[in-house]
């Protein structure tokens, strides 16, 4: 059975002042919070932050704060506008339940346009602890910061403050509405990026209140969350807001030029105005109608994922990958990789010889077909179906991630690359290392282990991720020594039942995608 990518996506500081904080507009505030931290031997039940007091809960030795606002609600006159700072609140705010997720068409729980909240798990004790800010996936149109898979308690128990952050989705976060609403809305396709940057600024000024170290922040994500992470690596406004990044199945290529974003906006405008006489005023006030128009628009648009960030001349002045290659990541650290058979999840185990438009994220079918045809020579022993899975995986995940790794490492960013080869051992996708499978290993999701080999690899991967977040090279007992990535050896850790290091993996594919074969 063929499951479209889209259907899947919608169903499922030190005691001294940190150097990075000194460079921030509010860095002195973050440093003051560190100095004023009242931690002694245990975490207080009520935490005072720059925005107000929060009451969390204690769960199995981990302090948990859910539904914490990091920005002003993007509603009313703030719809389609860049993110505004959070408004401080009086008294004590309970932070014991998750906020509704961002508006989306097939949610798994309550939704609201008022969605700019985060969840936070922190160890007991004074810290300061390193910080992980996790961006959920979902194709830029779906997903939740409260996905049970991303339970930050697992990282908190290992001495890490874990934050999961929500952001605006779909037309609210990734549509250029200038064609409908006028020039003052230029760049609105970057509103979700503005959300994430605001969340990272919140982290810099607030995380010390929870025992976190604003000088040791790792931003990471999987799928769309990884793509947004990789894009943030090339956003100048985000350069001082984090020191490390984790990208699982990402890439920095899902970005429109100014003209492409305007064309998408004009296309949505026609779709919107063509339905029941919709007006600009209705666009400002009708979330349900907006989601219905979004569905219709995405169904007829000739390219997959039309809703994406844009080069707007302000937040993004050129392609993020160009900024990465010229040094935006110099001095930072990157852990990046993909799964061997990502696209098996969307194509199914027997997809046939040709993908459809909805299976490609970066190329048109016309541009992709000649590349796919060459896969028979590279992998003559693979079935036609498996060659299709491998080629679509390369187009959407592996090649874009490789380009980020090459650009970052070449510009002085300490980079480690992995490939997750552990295949599912039961069910419809048995034998494939499909998209998202690695999440249950990294997060050590309870109830998912299917034997000793899987449990061992989950422990190793989670430990390696923790070691990286704490500032060291990723490593774990049972894994081979993980060398840094460079463009000569291209050393890659293959994570499997018997993990190993390979030099120049996919050499034939590399030549093909670079135009040398």
User: Active site includes 502?
Assistant: no
- The region that residue 504 occupies, defined by phi over 0 for left and psi between -120 and 50 for alpha, beta otherwise, is left
List, as own/partner pairs, every contact residues 503-512 make where C-beta atoms lie below 8 angstroms and the sequence separation is at least 24, other chains included.
505/419, 506/394, 506/398, 508/378, 508/379, 509/378, 509/390, 509/394, 509/398, 509/399, 510/402, 512/371, 512/374, 512/375, 512/378
Return the closest-CA partner of residue 268 out of 193, 362, 191, 189. 189
Distance set, CA 487 to CA 34, 202, 408, 445, 497 (Å): 39, 36, 10, 34, 27
Structure tokens at 283: 């666009």
Say how many C-beta atoms besides its own lie within 10 A of residue 90's C-beta. Answer: 7
d(CA 306, CA 311): 14
- What is the rounded CA–CA span in Å between residue 185 and residue 168? 16
Catalytic (active site) residue 435: yes
Catalytic annotation, pick one of 136, 194, 435, 506:
435
Region of 83 (left: φ > 0; alpha: ψ -120 to 50; beta: rest) is beta
Q: How many CB atoms lie within 10 A of CB 252?
A: 28
The DSSP output letter for 327 is: I
d(CA 479, CA 499): 6
First to last CA, the chain: 33
Residue 113: count other Cβ atoms within 10 Å of its Cβ: 18
Can you tell me the distance from the alpha carbon of 115 to that of 196, in angstroms, rounded to the nearest whole number?
12
Can you tell me the distance from the alpha carbon of 256 to that of 258, in angstroms, rounded to the nearest whole number? 6
Catalytic residue among 113, 248, 253, 342: 342
Is 188 labeled as catalytic in the residue annotation? Answer: no
CA–CA separation, 363 and 372 (whole Å)? 12
Residue 173: name the closest of 147, 197, 150, 151 by CA.
197
Name the β-bridge partners of 161: 131
Count of CB atoms situated within 10 Å of the CB of 344: 30
CA distance 127 to 508: 48
φ, ψ dihedrals at 365, nearest 5°? -60, -35
Please pick, among 223, 244, 423, 499, the residue that the annotation labels catalytic: 223
Distance of CA 297 to the CA centre of its chain: 24
Enumerate the active-site residues.
223, 342, 435
């Amino acid at each position: 059975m063929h499951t479209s990518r889209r259907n899947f996506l919608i169903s499922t500081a030190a005691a001294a002042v940190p150097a990075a904080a000194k460079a921030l507009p509010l860095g002195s505030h973050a440093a003051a919070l560190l100095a004023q931290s009242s931690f002694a031997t245990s975490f207080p039940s009520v935490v005072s932050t720059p925005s107000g007091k929060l009451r969390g809960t204690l769960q199995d030795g981990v302090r948990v704060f859910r539904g914490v606002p990091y920005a002003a609600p993007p509603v009313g006159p703030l719809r389609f506008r860049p993110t505004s700072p959070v408004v401080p609140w009086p008294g004590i705010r309970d932070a014991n339940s998750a906020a509704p997720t961002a508006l989306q068409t097939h949610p798994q729980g309550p939704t609201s346009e008022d969605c700019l909240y985060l969840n936070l798990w922190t160890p007991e004790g004074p810290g300061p602890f390193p910080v992980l800010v996790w961006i959920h996936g979902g194709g830029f149109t779906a997903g939740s910061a409260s996905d049970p898979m991303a339970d930050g308690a697992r990282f908190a128990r290992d001495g890490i403050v874990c934050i999961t952050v929500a952001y605006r989705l779909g037309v609210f976060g990734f549509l250029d509405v200038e064609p409908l609403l006028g020039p003052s809305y230029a760049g609105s396709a970057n509103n979700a990026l503005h959300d994430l940057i605001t969340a990272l600024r919140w982290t810099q000024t607030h995380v010390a209140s929870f025992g976190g170290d604003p000088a040791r922040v790792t931003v990471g994500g999987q799928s769309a969350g990884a793509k947004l992470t990789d894009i943030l690596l090339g956003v100048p406004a985000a350069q001082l807001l984090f020191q490390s990044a984790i990208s699982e199945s990402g890439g920095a290529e899902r970005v429109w030029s100014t003209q492409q974003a305007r064309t998408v906006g004009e296309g949505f405008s026609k779709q919107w105005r063509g339905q029941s006489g919709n007006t600009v005023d209705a666009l400002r006030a009708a979330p349900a109608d907006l989601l219905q128009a979004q569905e219709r628009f995405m169904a007829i648009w000739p390219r997959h994922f039309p809703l994406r960030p844009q080069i707007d001349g302000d937040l993004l002045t050129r392609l993020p990958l160009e900024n990465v290659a010229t040094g935006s990541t110099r001095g930072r650290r990157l852990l990046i990789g993909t799964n061997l058979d990502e696209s098996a999840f969307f194509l199914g185990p027997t997809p046939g010889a040709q993908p459809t438009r909805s299976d490609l994220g970066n190329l048109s079918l016309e541009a992709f077909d000649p590349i796919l045809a060459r896969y028979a020579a590279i992998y003559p022993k693979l079935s036609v179906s498996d060659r299709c899975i491998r080629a679509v995986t390369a187009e959407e995940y592996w090649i874009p991630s490789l380009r980020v790794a090459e650009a970052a490492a070449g510009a002085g960013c300490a980079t480690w690359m992995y490939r997750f080869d552990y295949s599912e051992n039961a069910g419809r996708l048995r034998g494939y290392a499909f998209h998202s499978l690695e999440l249950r290993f990294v997060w050590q999701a309870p109830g998912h282990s299917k034997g000793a080999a899987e449990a061992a690899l989950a422990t190793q991967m989670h430990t390696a991720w923790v070691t990286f977040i704490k500032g060291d090279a990723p490593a774990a007992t049972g894994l081979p020594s993980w060398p840094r990535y460079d463009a000569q050896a291209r050393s890659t850790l293959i994570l499997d039942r018997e993990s190993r290091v390979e030099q120049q993996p996919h050499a034939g594919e590399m030549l093909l995608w670079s135009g040398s074969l």
